[in-house]
Amino acid sequence: MCIVFVAFEEHPLYSLIVASNRDEEYDRPASPCGWWDANGPHNGILAGRDHRKGGTWLGVHARNGVWATVTNVREAGSDDESLSRGHLVLQLLAGGGIGEVGRGAPGVACTSAGARSMVAQALATAPSYGGLNALVGGGGELFWLTNRALRAGFDPDAPHVAGTPHVELGRECRAERLGPGVHVVSNALLDTPWPKVTRGRALFRSVLEADAARGGPASAQSRRRLAVELLATVLSDVCRPPASELPRTTGHTLEEEALFSSICVSQRAEERRGAGYGTVAQSVLLVGRDGRAMLTERQMRDGKPLGAPSLFEFAFSAPPPRGFLGTAVSSRSRHAQARAWALGLAVSSAACVGLATLARARRS
């Protein structure tokens, strides 16, 4: 169970802002965000890696300017997928509108036409997966793809309006081009107004509006400040709605729905079964209008961070220097970085009380 917030062409400094939580069993092995094989077919991909199935949940391709993420659709019955959803993310990243999947020339940026072709190819393979939502961007475009729609098709010239919910589930494969605005997807269809989606959208907007109001140019400092606030205010929110507001169409009990109902999922001691389940990774991706990008990921357990976040800064859609794909926090500066992030989170958490209060006031 996961949730993804996207601000597309919604901020004066950033063409794209993504904030995402990955929820998973605590004992499912995975590698944190990092650069994939430098000499293999995934050269240029920055993502975490699921060891059980080999895919990923969110990633970017620094060489073609594509990013993608996936969530599962929560539904009754066993998940009899023949392919792991994480492989669809790799297909989208490696496709990138640069020719045959995985065979594009290094550093060739994805175009609008290439992005549409990439989504059409992914749509053809979507029936092979369990219920999913995928968000993918490239070439100045943003798309949503699902295999649980009521109506099949792909019309890239009719952009979906942000905030317009898809509510009813089906078994058809569909892709839509998304217009500017804030889009949220959890484990139902795009913008379905589950409580965590509605609450998270308000918190997300509040953080972005406060950041935009500060003014000033984009910088490494301003990017990190925004990431800290998104991590602390939006992605770490543990508020659970009352039972009367929980979804009742997923085939799960209200007790099960309550476990997944907060943005940051953390089971209480009396709710835990086996190794436990909850939010295991939080990610923030910022793509500036100057072409500079930053991806930060924080590992989580029981609603608390496991050490300092990983931080990567790079030029999006341009070939990085040979032998090095981006600027990650070096191991030598890890302790200093941890102290800086801890201080930033402490300051931000106090400041974000006001933002959360503002979001609640807007809903009332």
Within a 13 Å sphere around the CA of 286, how many CA atoms are in the beta-carbon half?
A: 29
The arithmetic mean of pLDDT across residues 137-145, rounded, is: 95
Kind plus residue range of the DSSP H or E element containing 304 = strand 304-305
Name the E strands within 202-291. Answer: 277-288
Q: Looking at residue 96, what is its pLDDT?
A: 58
Taking the C-alpha atoms of residue 145 and residue 49, their distance in angstroms, rounded to an integer, is 21
pLDDT digits (tens, 9 = 90+) for 296-349: 999 999 999 999 999 999 988 644 333 333 344 433 344 444 444 444 444 444
pLDDT tens-digit readout, 176-234: 999 999 999 999 999 999 999 999 999 999 999 999 999 999 999 999 999 999 999 99
Distance in angstroms (rounded) separating the CA atoms of residues 209 and 327: 28
Architecture field, domain 2-363: 4-Layer Sandwich (3.60)
All structural domains of the chain with their residue ranges: 2-363
Q: 130-153 burial string, b = 16+ CB within 10 Å, else e?
A: bbbbbbbbbbebbbbbbbbbeeee
Residues in Cβ contact with 337 at an 8 Å cutoff, skipping those fewer than 6 apart: 308, 311, 329
Model-level pTM? 0.86
